[in-house]
Structure 1
Amino acid sequence: MDAVVTEHGGLARPDPAHSACSLHTRPDRWTSRRTTVWPSRIPALRPLSGPRPWCPARPVGEAAGVRVFDSFAHHPDEVSADLAAARSLVELGRRVIAVFQPSDLARLDAFGVDFGKALAGCDQVVLTDSTRGVPSAALELLSAHVTSAGGSVQHILRDRIDAAMRAAEMAGPGDVVVLLGSGDLVESGPALLATLGTLVAPAA
């Protein structure tokens, strides 16, 4: 099912059956940080209305023609939903670039193949380390899962700031970058925007 554009210009997640969001587990982080950072002129990737609460990707800002969103998606279904919504924002020929930070090794062991399929829904992927630390071999295996599903992992960078800045260097006008994960990756949005702002000629 395609993403739905709301009357306010936001986007509905394609499938209302996706798992409940991390709002239940990270309420303080959602309310305190997001009410002050997001520019209202950037539409959110909004969820479909329904009886269950959802956590859609939210806008960080825009620089050099690149829109940046962050998401606490940490289950394959949530990743797929937010990337599908992001896909509906880009015009033909432009890209969705995802930076993904897994929660921990246990979740990668349980859902690695499914994460690979979900991340294959974007054009390019940058993988970074969990805040809890995962072995490099686990990130390499996840990269292989993405490739097997038809996706493309461009870089594996353990430092999340490095990963976000690399995504900025990869992006060009009209692209959308989504920061995905329940760790500290979403705090890298301002650094990503700053990097975009310093690029005289963003990569096409």
Structure 2
Amino acid sequence: MRIHMIAICGTGMGSLAALLQAQGHEVRGSDANVYPPMSDYLRDRGIPILEGFDATHLDPAPDLVIIGNAVRRENPEAVETMNRGLDYLSFPGALRRFFLSRKTTVAVTGTHGKTTTTALLSWIFTHAGLDPSFLIGGIARNFGQSIRLGEGEHFIIEGDEYDTAFFDKVPKFLRYAPSHAILANVEFDHADIYDNLDAVMAAFRELVRQMPPDGLLVAGVDDTNVRELIQKVGCPVVTYGVDEAADFGARNVRMDGERMRFDIVDEKGEEHPMASPINGAHNLRNILAAYAMSRHFGISPEAFRAALASFEGVARRQEERGEEAGVLVIDDFAHHPTAVRLTLAGLRERYAGRRLVTIFEPRTNTTRRRHFQEAYAKAFESSDAVIIAPVYHGDDLPAEERFDPMRLAADLKAQGIEAHATATLDETFAEALDMLQHGDLAAVLSNGGFGDMHRRLLAALAERARGIAR
């Protein structure tokens, strides 16, 4: 089948493209935002990417068009698809049609931690010999990819609460119809489609309601909203938590060099020592979630321990991009204030002794808006210095709705944190380069390309080091 994918470079769409290619389909796609790692990932697999959106990209006519959830109704390729009467599906609809209907679907849901937990669970199942299929919203470093079609019965998938497509406003995870799910946490997010927390809760409430009686819900009870949601559920529930009493918990948490060591306490009160290459309270909860689901499917504590020890994480999640002139540059996808706070706390713990300089881009549909203005003032407390880039496409939003970097900088300065708001990405780069010193840790936080900030900084720092050497 010849398949054309509109907005192919999104993490989910790019992953689906590779899955469909592995099934033998002829896949091509288009996107306005073509940048690594997804662009490299697709091109390495010989999947053509057409830059920009144009009706002529549908020539010759494909057998099926898959329309990404970022695509708007007025997109010229979407309009042409409708005008020609071509067969089309949403991203979740295509997943369900081609893959999920044949597998036991295990969805990882929640506001935070989905990608890391999905990658970890996929690695645990693979290491245990279950040969799962998986779809992860990022590149899992153990696999070098975000997707795989395995021979086993399980399909492990990152379950997003974002809507399916402009023609189907239902949350993606409902279209996946999982029989097994992890529900990690629930906060307000996606301000472009949800008016408030109640609307987000309604989406998760429907997910919980649809769980089949023979399924399983693994619930993170450290989260107040999750505790509320699991009061009415028609399937068995297993809980995990660090702060609250739960079926699966953790004790004796400590750092040992670059590894986090702890004991998992199971529902029988038995302790199982673990050593993890990923650290921080947020990752501890991710690990507990994966452990609880793994035990349900018969994976032993010993097998879990061995797999966890060799877990390499996910690209753009506390990823070391390089070190030049004594400055270590970290890339992370964190953007929601809770994720920013937890990520920076984890970096502070892991790289104790380094000055932490955070370079932040307000880029998502939520972070571009003022909703989290006050929350961000508390999110950077682990940083020694913060550089705030301009709001991505800020002029598209009314001034009264737009996030205010200048105000955030002032709020951080009031807490004794050095902070600078910049007017352009070039100014962001120059400010960062001027600030960074030997021994620093530069944490670059953005969910997009950020003007190739990591590469530019590393190249400039390398040039600085060569100048010093001369």
Matched positions, count: 177
How far the C-alpha of 1:103 sits from its partner, in A, is 2.5
2:346 counterpart SS class: helix
TM value normalised by structure 1: 0.69
Q: Which structure would you say has the larger RCO, counting Cα contacts within 8 Å and 6 or more residues apart? A: 1
Unaligned runs of 5+ residues in structure 1 are: 1-16, 37-41
Give the residue type in structure 2 aligned to 1:172: Q
Moved over 6 A (4+): 52-55
Residue pair 2:115, 2:136 contacting (<8 A) in 1 also: no
Q: Does residue 1:101 correspond to 2:367, yes or no?
A: no
- The superposition leaves residues 90-139 of structure 1 with CA deviations (integer Å, 9 ceiling, x where unpaired) of 454x4100001112575341111111111132000111023222669811
**Which position in structure 2 is the counterpart of 1:143?**
409
CA pair 168-64 structure 1, distance change in 2 beyond 3 A: same
**Which position in structure 1 is the counterpart of 2:332?**
71
Give the residue type in structure 2 aligned to 1:140: M
Give the residue type in structure 2 aligned to 1:171: L
**Which position in structure 2 is the counterpart of 1:9?**
none
> In structure 1, what is the Cα distance between the partners aligned to 2:431 and 2:136?
29
> In structure 2, what is the Cα distance between the partners aligned to 1:143 and 1:22?
30
How far the C-alpha of 1:181 sits from its partner, in A, is 2.1
Residue pair 1:127, 1:156 contacting (<8 A) in 2 also: yes
> In structure 1, what is the Cα distance between the partners aligned to 2:111 and 2:423?
29
How far the C-alpha of 1:165 sits from its partner, in A, is 4.1
CA pair 45-114 structure 1, distance change in 2 beyond 3 A: farther
**Which position in structure 2 is the counterpart of 1:114?**
375
Give the residue type in structure 1 aligned to 2:138: W
How far the C-alpha of 1:198 sits from its partner, in A, is 1.5
2:331 counterpart SS class: strand
- Aligned partner of 1:30 among 131, 134, 138: 138
- The superposition leaves residues 68-111 of structure 1 with CA deviations (integer Å, 9 ceiling, x where unpaired) of 0111111111111121122124454x410000111257534111
Unaligned runs of 5+ residues in structure 2 are: 1-109, 119-134, 146-257, 260-276, 291-312
Q: How does 1:1-204 map to 2 (within 5 A)?
A: 19-21=112-114, 30-31=138-139, 46=279, 47-48=283-284, 49-51=287-289, 56-92=317-353, 94-103=354-363, 106-107=366-367, 108-133=369-394, 138-153=404-419, 155-185=420-450, 187-200=452-465
> In structure 2, what is the Cα distance between the partners aligned to 1:194 and 1:166?
15
CA pair 148-62 structure 1, distance change in 2 beyond 3 A: same
> In structure 1, what is the Cα distance between the partners aligned to 2:140 and 2:393?
23
Residue pair 2:391, 2:405 contacting (<8 A) in 1 also: no
CA pair 196-89 structure 1, distance change in 2 beyond 3 A: farther
TM value normalised by structure 2: 0.32
Residue pair 1:100, 1:127 contacting (<8 A) in 2 also: yes
2:288 counterpart SS class: coil
Larger Rg: 2
How far the C-alpha of 1:180 sits from its partner, in A, is 0.9
CA pair 120-91 structure 1, distance change in 2 beyond 3 A: closer
How far the C-alpha of 1:197 sits from its partner, in A, is 0.9
2:404 counterpart SS class: helix
CA pair 170-82 structure 1, distance change in 2 beyond 3 A: same
- Higher strand residue share: 2
> In structure 2, what is the Cα distance between the partners aligned to 1:126 and 1:70?
15
2:334 counterpart SS class: coil
How far the C-alpha of 1:141 sits from its partner, in A, is 1.4
Residue pair 1:130, 1:183 contacting (<8 A) in 2 also: no
Percent sequence identity is: 24
Note the aligned Cα RMSD (angstroms).
Answer: 3.8
1:50 counterpart SS class: helix
Residue pair 2:373, 2:403 contacting (<8 A) in 1 also: no
